[in-house]
Amino acid sequence: MGSLQPHRVAEVLFSEEQIQVRVRELGAAISGDFSDESEPLLLVGVLKGASLFLSDLVREIARPLEFDFVALSSYGDATETSGEVRVLKDLDIAVTGKHVIIVEDILDTGLTLRFSYLIENLIARHAKSVRVCVLLNKPSRRRVPVPVDYCGFEIEDRFVVGYGMDYAEQYRHLRYIGVIEFIK
Ligand code: IMP
Ligand code: MG
């Protein structure tokens, strides 16, 4: 692995306020879809990218719920996954009989979610239903189909950082979502 090219955030794509408004809407949609509070709801965030999104999203859902995290590793370079995916950290919470919502930061090629077999795995463990919630979706980059039930924003094919998303582990802490520019 060579040294990384210098980089910086060149543009704000979604401001803190825009993200907040959209996350609130997603939380309201989920609250509406799962209004029967007798049915357990479990949100599963994919580490590390979805951690900030999940922590804001759960506070916008007005019903009882549990949340947990999984960690998936995909081999690849800094900006693209290879499709070879391993589960590094499994759920700590049982899923039987629960409605499960997988929470991802961004859906790009779809390879990570597809080849982690996370959806199949949750179904095999008798989840009552499995849905997918992504903050960002890059449909033009999709290589394998992944069902998306809740989506924050659809974006063009650009590499974004912030609000949990990284380039080489940098920028995750930004309150906004920005586009990276590589400096020659
Ligand atoms: P996929 O397997 O190609 O769908 O990519 C899934 C993962 O790659 C996401 O969960 C992110 O962690 C990462 N990723 C994809 N696109 C971007 C991006 O534009 N910025 C930061 N991370 C990204
Ligand atoms: Mg991710």
Question: Annotated catalytic residue: which of 105, 108, 149, 157?
Answer: 108
Task: Look at ligand 1, atom 2, and give the residue with the nearest C-alpha.
Answer: 112
Taking the CA of residue 111 as reference, the ligand 1 atom at the shortest distance is: 2
CA of 38 to the centre of ligand 2 (A): 31
CA of 184 to the centre of ligand 2 (A): 27
For residue 61, give the amino acid letter.
Answer: I
CA of 39 to the centre of ligand 1 (A): 31
Question: In terms of Cα–Cα distance, which of 12, 29, 15 is closest to 133?
Answer: 29
29, two tokens: 């949609």
Query: Which residue matches tokens 């919502």?
Result: 101
87, two tokens: 């589960």
Task: Look at ligand 1, atom 9, and give the residue with the nearest C-alpha.
Answer: 106
Q: Quote the pTM value.
A: 0.95
Report the C-alpha gap between 59 and 165 in whole angstroms. 20
Task: Look at ligand 1, atom 20, and give the residue with the nearest C-alpha.
Answer: 160
pLDDT of residue 73: 86
Does the pLDDT value for residue 81 go beyond 90?
no
CA of 173 to the centre of ligand 1 (A): 16
45, two tokens: 């965030």
For 87-137, write each residue's pLDDT tens digit: 999 999 999 999 999 999 999 999 999 999 999 999 999 999 999 999 999
What class is the 16-155 domain?
alpha beta
pLDDT of residue 83: 74
Question: In terms of Cα–Cα distance, which of 139, 23, 159, 172 is closest to 78?
Answer: 159
Spatial CB neighbours of 160, under 8 Å, sequence gap ≥ 6? 13, 106, 136, 177, 178, 179, 180
Q: How confident is the model at residue 20 (pLDDT cuts 50, 70, 90)?
A: very high
76, two tokens: 């690849």
Taking the CA of residue 158 as reference, the ligand 1 atom at the shortest distance is: 19
Decide if 150 contacts 119 (C-beta within 8 A).
Answer: no
For residue 120, the surrounding DSSP H or E stretch is helix 118-124
7, two tokens: 């980089």
Residue 108 among the catalytic residues: yes
Cβ atoms within 10 A of the Cβ of 29, count? 15
For 30-46, write each residue's pLDDT tens digit: 999 999 999 999 999 99
Q: What is the DSSP string of 50-70?
A: THHHHHHHHTT--S--EEEEE
Question: In terms of Cα–Cα distance, which of 22, 175, 31 is closest to 101?
Answer: 31
Question: In terms of Cα–Cα distance, which of 74, 124, 75, 128 is closest to 101?
Answer: 128
